[in-house]
């Protein structure tokens, strides 16, 4: 379904404005910043006059308030102090981490080198478990006060409503989508999981947000950090479709994790619920961001009937997975 895009604030974020923003903090940019593959925010890799690599993140206007962003930065400082492998946030001479230039809020981070992990490599899974366990040992010390708490039923219901109200589906698709998403919602808790299970988590811990070499990995991009069960930072690293292989991956990941903190294995029963929420949220997120011209350029298939047919089939398969998850195999 076609949409008429209005001028979006990110469209005015030209290279000269990016450089001016960075240099407003007393740094000097050598060359032109390189745009990374990021859509929720705008993220750039750049070097200073000494050849040091940094990441500049320009936050999406209106998405998060300053308190939530600063709480993410404080969490990164806490992790860095505990020697957890992360991409640390940069502080200016006044100790500030969140900056503003011509209406754009931005932060700078130390750039890390490396490659995403190989999820079929047991040594990598063990090492990932260690890194996340070390991070969670720090994260469990106190809660977030300004970040959201992951409430599966609420997020799924809101995502369903967003898709249905925007008119992207044909009549046939709408009927199928209403039916299958209604069934999926019955499998999700209305509110968050038990309070005792909630802690600070990375929130979007997939291989694209992990960099490393050999068996040493670091976590980057804490933009979605939230209050959620520990398993939220583990389940996206379990890639096997065969139940036995999946169980082996779980074993390696948790063994590494428990070098630093205990893992409540009852949370494994929540993985398919988390996957359901992510599937529903992804399509709704694309629709919500469609007025940003970067989205139609990057995801043109969203307006195609074929995408929604496939999405509905995926949700049908997820209904089966909820009824017979791998952890019970």
- Could you list the active site residues? 204, 221
The radius of gyration of the chain's CA atoms, rounded to the nearest angstrom, is 21
Q: Which burial class, exposed, middle or buried, applies to 253 when counting CB atoms under 10 A from its CB (0-12, 13-18, 19+)?
A: buried
Euclidean distance between CA atoms 259 and 65, whole angstroms: 36
Cα–Cα separations (whole angstroms), residue 221 to 8, 24, 146: 23, 23, 18
Q: Looking up tokens 């209305």, which residue turns up?
A: 190
Expressed in angstroms, the distance from the first to the final Cα of the chain is 41
* Six-digit token string for 191: 């509110």
* 92 labelled ligand-binding: no
The phi and psi torsions of 14 (rounded to 5 degrees) equal: -85, 165
How far apart (Å, rounded) are the C-alpha atoms in residues 288 and 173?
19
221 labelled ligand-binding: yes
Residue ranges of the binding site for Mg(2+): 209, 221
């Amino acid at each position: 379904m076609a949409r008429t895009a209005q001028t979006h604030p990110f469209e005015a974020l030209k290279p000269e404005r990016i450089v001016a923003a960075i240099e407003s903090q007393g740094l000097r940019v050598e060359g032109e910043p390189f745009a990374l593959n990021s859509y929720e925010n705008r993220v750039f890799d750049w070097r200073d006059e000494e050849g040091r690599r940094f990441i500049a993140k320009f936050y999406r206007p209106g998405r998060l308030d300053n308190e939530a962003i600063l709480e993410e930065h404080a969490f990164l400082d806490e992790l860095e102090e505990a020697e957890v492998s992360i991409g640390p946030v940069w502080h200016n001479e006044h100790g500030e981490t969140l900056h503003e230039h011509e209406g754009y809020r931005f932060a700078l981070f130390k750039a890390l080198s490396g490659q995403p992990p190989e999820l079929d490599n047991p040594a990598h899974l063990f090492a990932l478990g260690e890194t996340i366990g070390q991070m969670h040992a720090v994260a469990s010390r106190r809660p977030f006060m300004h970040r959201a708490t992951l409430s599966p039923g609420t997020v799924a219901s809101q995502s369903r409503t967003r898709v249905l109200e925007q008119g992207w589906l044909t009549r046939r698709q709408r009927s199928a989508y209403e039916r299958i998403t209604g069934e999926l919602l019955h499998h999700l808790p209305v509110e968050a999981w038990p309070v005792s299970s909630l802690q600070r988590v990375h929130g979007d811990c997939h291989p694209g947000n992990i960099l490393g070499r050999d068996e040493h990995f670091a976590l980057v991009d804490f933009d979605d950090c939230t209050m959620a069960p520990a398993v939220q930072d583990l389940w996206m690293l379990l890639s096997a479709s065969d139940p036995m292989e999946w169980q082996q991956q779980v074993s390696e990941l948790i063994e590494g994790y428990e070098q630093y903190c205990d893992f409540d294995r009852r949370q494994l029963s929540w993985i398919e619920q988390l996957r359901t929420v992510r599937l529903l949220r992804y399509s709704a997120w694309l629709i919500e961001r469609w007025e940003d011209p970067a989205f139609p350029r990057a995801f043109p298939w969203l307006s195609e009937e074929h995408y929604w047919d496939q999405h509905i089939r995926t949700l049908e398969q997820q209904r089966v997975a909820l009824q017979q998850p791998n952890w019970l195999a």
